[in-house]
Amino acid sequence: MATDIHRPVSTQAGPAGAQNAHADVVTACSGAQAASAGARVVHAAHVEGLTRSFDGRAVIDDLRLDVRPGEFVALLGRSGCGKSTLLRILAGLDRDIEGTVLVARRTAFAFQAPRLMPWRRVWRNVLLGLPGKPERARAKQALTEVGLDHRLGAWSKTLSGGEAQRVTLARALVREPDLLLLDEPFGALDSLTRIKAQRLVGELWQRRGCAVLLVTHEVEEAVLLADRVLVMDQGVIAYETEVDLDRPRDIADPRFAELRGHLLERLGVDTAAEAARTPPAPRERSPSRRP
């Protein structure tokens, strides 16, 4: 049953999120704040005063973050700045925290390592951890969405890296999430498979209308896919920008390049040196704007 949360949260719905404006949220926070489980807010995720320390060192330090329902948010940041730690907390995998963390009741995640059980059939892996009798048809539906329904009955150990990653996505989708957490899901893929996977995630987001929080190292990927890009540094969201570019996005668009360069600078990358080193990327377009 829903209860009131003890701390005020914004009740403003973002422009992208009206359809899910009353998503249920549960709290992943510790101690007394756990009493707020079941509260209703209009965010897919609401984080306030979040601190996570390891060995006395605060990796996340009084962080605040809101993700609107239906919004696609990309999270960038230098290696080791705490991005994965934040996602693990949002996924409910790490509860040793201080602060308030509220996420949509239906939150699912896909991380870089597919973590499939190799000795199980693909469809069984898709349904792994779901309560109730495993329904093959349900798995099939999710696998169809990622273009893998033909591998439904295959042993998971026979999948390629890209296929395994798509099964992980199907496993998240079958939970019909209001919030999808993606931690470098394309990190281990070759560039061609990565481009296809990026396109797939963009299409799924548009079709499903769920909020997505994507951790990535690729600035280009962030600008291609996201409504808003965040840069994490020193334990907080140090910078954020809306991506005010029409979809489908074109990486050859000068405004795309300008935003990419700006974000690289925010990440402390020497853009002149980087431009001299990097060959031109293949032309790629992001999916069309959601209807």
Ligand X SMILES: Nc1ncnc2c1ncn2[C@@H]1O[C@H](COP(=O)(O)OP(=O)(O)OP(=O)(O)O)[C@@H](O)[C@H]1O
Chain residues that interact with ligand X, rule: CB under 6 A? 54, 59, 77, 79-85
Start-to-end C-alpha separation, the chain:
34
137 class by beta-carbon count within 10 Å (0-12 exposed, 13-18 middle, 19+ buried):
exposed
Closer Cβ to ligand X, 5 or 212, answer by number: 212
Burial 104-133 (b: 16+ CB within 10 A, else e): bebbbbbbbebebeeeebbbbbbbeeeeee
Best CA proximity match to 176, nearest among 72, 68, 104, 88: 104
**Rounded (10°) angle between helices 136-145 and 161-173:** 120
Closer Cβ to ligand X, 9 or 28, answer by number: 28
User: CB of 67: closest distance to ligand X in angstroms?
Assistant: 18
Provide the token pair at 66: 């809101």
User: CB of 65: closest distance to ligand X in angstroms?
Assistant: 14
User: CB of 80: closest distance to ligand X in angstroms?
Assistant: 4
Closer Cβ to ligand X, 63 or 139, answer by number: 63
Q: Cβ(216)–Cβ(43) under 8 Å?
A: no
User: CB of 243: closest distance to ligand X in angstroms?
Assistant: 21
Best CA proximity match to 249, nearest among 277, 281, 271, 208: 281
- For residue 216, the 8-state DSSP code is -
Residue entry with tokens 């696609």: 72
User: CB of 107: closest distance to ligand X in angstroms?
Assistant: 18
Closer Cβ to ligand X, 85 or 168, answer by number: 85
Closer Cβ to ligand X, 26 or 59, answer by number: 59
Round to whole Å and give the CA distance between 184 and 263: 18
Closer Cβ to ligand X, 122 or 226, answer by number: 226
User: CB of 187: closest distance to ligand X in angstroms?
Assistant: 9
Q: Which residues are 232's β-sheet partners?
A: 77, 237
Closer Cβ to ligand X, 81 or 222, answer by number: 81
User: CB of 257: closest distance to ligand X in angstroms?
Assistant: 24
Q: Which residues are 74's β-sheet partners?
A: 214, 229
